[in-house]
Amino acid sequence: MQIPQSIDGVETLLEEQGYVCGRGLSTAMFLALRLGRPLFLEGEAGVGKTEIAKAISKGLGRKLIRLQCYEGLDASSAVYEWNFAAQMIALRAAEAGGTTDGLKDQLFAEEFLIERPLLQAMRPQEGGAPVLLIDELDRTDAPFEAFLLEALSDFQVTIPELGAIIAPEPPIVILTSNRTREVHDALKRRCLYHWVDYPDFTRELEILTAQAPEVSAQLSREVVAFVQQLRTEDLFKKPGVAETIDWAKCLLALDVVTLSPEVIADTLGAVLKYQDDISKLQGSEAKRILEEAKAALEPA
Ligand SMILES: Nc1ncnc2c1ncn2[C@@H]1O[C@H](COP(=O)(O)OP(=O)(O)OP(=O)(O)O)[C@@H](O)[C@H]1O
Ligand SMILES: [Mg+2]
């Protein structure tokens, strides 16, 4: 499928995949597609950074290639490596058969190449250029970032034994970061940037309805109002949208019709993942937040 020709087109495409985004994010996505620039998304955990890459790849019918970053990630895990074991077997077989002429070229042929995400993304794919998701970039280290900068600037990979592999059409690149450290300016400069914030009540309700339509409208409203209120509290780790959806599904599984302080106390582990935060909400706190949340719901 071709890329949408307008911001509204991007929003519709994403909505069809159950992804609800605000104007800022859809504009950034549209421009990234239109200008062929990588999109760099930063934001808290569970606000839909990874999900948008999945939604756009599904919506456009493009292959999603994901590079999950971690400390110590290097080129052999990100770009390519030679299949050493297979090369050894071929070598032994050639030696045994006495056919070692031109062996070096045979051993460094494409059949012994293990392609990792960055190289896969340079290859032509059915349906058009793939979506390359470079997820949680803040977990890698500076040398890998510098390497990535080069790969993203010319979309080509050079393998000494095989030569340069050039992408016929640059992939659609989405980078995400939880901002556990600052990503270098040089890399950011290559990208369009968008900070993905927690959604407001209306949008979060839309997301929940899209992702968990089986939860009743009333319970969905209460859950979202409570989570929104919870985010204003002084917590070590605020709940993301992912937690809202999880919690609503848990409540549904327990046949809960409406929120009460008891139900909240029993299911808090779906929303808060740190004991300090959970213990803060024991006793009258949950009741107070629930009352505030319900009061905020009243005028609607
Ligand atoms: N705008 C949205 N529309 C639809 N679903 C959403 C949206 N935002 C979040 N979600 C839901 O929340 C879940 C978590 O989102 P996602 O994994 O993209 O978060 P993230 O920002 O990548 O978090 P992390 O930093 O922890 O990786 C998704 O599986 C999706 O169901
Ligand atoms: Mg993610």
CB 101: neighbour CB atoms within 10 A?
Answer: 9
- Counting ligands in written order, the one closest to the CA of 178 is 1
Task: Express each pLDDT in 172-185 by its tens digit.
Answer: 999 999 999 999 89
pLDDT of residue 152: 84
Distance 245 CA to ligand 1 centre (A): 10
52 pLDDT more than 60: yes
Q: For residue 118, name the pLDDT band (cuts at 50, 70, 90).
A: very high
- State whether the beta carbon of 47 lies less than 6 angstroms from ligand 1: yes
Among protein residues, the one with the nearest Cα to ligand 1's atom 24 is 45
Percent of the chain with pLDDT over 70: 99
C-beta 20 within 6 A of ligand 1: yes
pLDDT digits (tens, 9 = 90+) for 128-168: 999 999 999 999 988 898 888 888 888 888 888 888 889 99
Give the per-residue pLDDT at 153. Answer: 82
pLDDT, mean over the chain = 93
pLDDT digits (tens, 9 = 90+) for 188-228: 999 999 999 999 999 999 999 999 999 999 999 999 999 99
Q: Pairing state of beta strands 172-177 and 64-68? A: unpaired
Average pLDDT over residues 251-262: 95
C-beta of 53 in contact with ligand 1 (< 6 A): no
Task: Pick the ligand that lies closest to the CA of residue 47.
Answer: 1
Residue nearest to atom 6 of ligand 1 (CA): 48
Q: How confident is the model at residue 300 (pLDDT cuts 50, 70, 90)?
A: low
Position 99 confidence tier, pLDDT thresholds 50, 70, 90: confident
Q: Of the residues 16, 19, 51, 177, which should be mutated to test ligand 1's pocket, given the most ligand atoms within 8 Å of the CB?
A: 51
Q: What is the pTM of this model?
A: 0.91
For ligand 1, is residue 278 a contact (CB within 6 Å)?
no
Determine phi and psi for 261, rounding to 5 degrees.
Answer: -55, -35
Cα 117 to Cα 95, 195, 220, distances in angstroms: 33, 25, 38
Pocket test for ligand 1, best of 138, 241, 247, 271 (most atoms within 8 A of CB): 241
Q: DSSP letter for 266, please.
A: H
Share of the chain above pLDDT 90, in %: 76
| Cα angle 226-42-190, degrees, rounded to a multiple of 5 | 160
The residue-averaged pLDDT of 229-256 equals 95
Backbone dihedral angles phi then psi of residue 83, each to the nearest 5 degrees: -80, 90
Q: Provide the pLDDT confidence category of residue 299 given band limits of 50, 70 and 90.
A: low
Q: Does ligand 1 come within 6 angstroms of the Cβ of 239?
A: no
Sign of CA dihedral 204, 206, 207, 212: positive
Phi, psi (rounded to 5 degrees) for 31: -65, -40
Q: Is the CB of 157 under 6 A from ligand 1?
A: no
Could you tell me if the CB of 133 is within 6 A of ligand 1?
no
Q: Is 50 in the pocket of ligand 1 (CB under 6 A)?
A: yes
